[in-house]
A = this chain, B = another copy of it.
Amino acid sequence: MSKLGGTSPKEHADVSTIIGFETHDVRFPTSTTLDGSDAMNPDPDYSAAYLRLVTDADDGHEGHGFVFTIGRGNDVEVAAITALREHLLGREVEPVLDALGAFWRELVYDSQLRWLGPEKGVMHMAIGAVVNALWDLKAKRAGLPLWRLLATMTPEELVELVDFRYLSDVLTPDDALTILRRAEPGREARIEALLAAGYPAYTTTPGWLGYSDEKLDRLCREAVADGFTQVKLKVGGHVEDDVRRLAIARNAVGPDIRIAVDANQRWDVAEAIDWMSRLAPYDIAWIEEPTSPDDILGHAAIARGVAPIPVATGEHMANRIMFKQFLQADALQVLQIDSTRVAGVNENITILLLAAKFGVPVCPHAGGVGLCEAVQHLSMFDFIAVSGSEDGRMIEFVDHLHEHFVEPVEIVAGRYRAPVAPGGGSEMLATSIAEFTFRGAGA
- Neighbour of A111 across the interface among B40, B86, B119, B121, CB < 8 A: B40
Between A72, A115, A295, the greatest number of chain B beta carbons within 10 A of the residue's beta carbon is seen for A115
Contact with B along A49-93 (1 / 0, CB 8 A): 000000000000000000001111101110110010010000000
- Neighbour of A318 across the interface among B72, B120, B165, CB < 8 A: B120
The answer to the question of A195 belonging to the interface, with a C-beta cut-off of 8 Å to chain B, is no
Contacts of A115 in B (CB 8 A): 41, 44, 69-71, 73
> A321 and B292 in contact (CB under 8 A), knowing A73-B83, A112-B72?
yes
Among residues of B, the one whose C-beta sits closest to the C-beta of A77 is B116
The answer to the question of A210 belonging to the interface, with a C-beta cut-off of 8 Å to chain B, is no
CA distance A75 to B75 in the complex (A): 12
Which residues 111-162 of A sit at the B interface, judged by CB distance below 8 A? 111-125
The answer to the question of A257 belonging to the interface, with a C-beta cut-off of 8 Å to chain B, is no
Among residues of B, the one whose C-beta sits closest to the C-beta of A79 is B79
Range class of the A interface residue count: 35 or more
- Neighbour of A45 across the interface among B44, B112, B121, CB < 8 A: B112
Question: How far, in Å, is A406 (CB) from chain B's closest CB?
Answer: 25
Secondary structure dominating the interface of A: loop
Determine whether the beta carbon of A294 is less than 8 Å from that of B269. no
The answer to the question of A298 belonging to the interface, with a C-beta cut-off of 8 Å to chain B, is yes
The answer to the question of A322 belonging to the interface, with a C-beta cut-off of 8 Å to chain B, is yes
CA distance A119 to B294 in the complex (A): 9
Which residues 228-250 of A sit at the B interface, judged by CB distance below 8 A? none
Determine whether the beta carbon of A270 is less than 8 Å from that of B121. no
Question: How far, in Å, is A258 (CB) from chain B's closest CB?
Answer: 27
Question: How far, in Å, is A43 (CB) from chain B's closest CB?
Answer: 7
Among residues of B, the one whose C-beta sits closest to the C-beta of A297 is B325
Determine whether the beta carbon of A296 is less than 8 Å from that of B295. no
The answer to the question of A265 belonging to the interface, with a C-beta cut-off of 8 Å to chain B, is yes
CA distance A391 to B125 in the complex (A): 41
Contacts of A165 in B (CB 8 A): 268, 292
Sorted nearest first, the 5 A-B pairs with minimum C-beta distance are A121-B121, A122-B122, A72-B112, A71-B112, A79-B79
Could you jot down 19 A-B contacts, CB within 8 Å? A40-B111, A41-B111, A41-B112, A42-B111, A44-B111, A69-B116, A70-B115, A72-B112, A77-B116, A80-B122, A117-B122, A119-B294, A120-B120, A121-B122, A122-B123, A165-B268, A165-B292, A292-B321, A296-B296
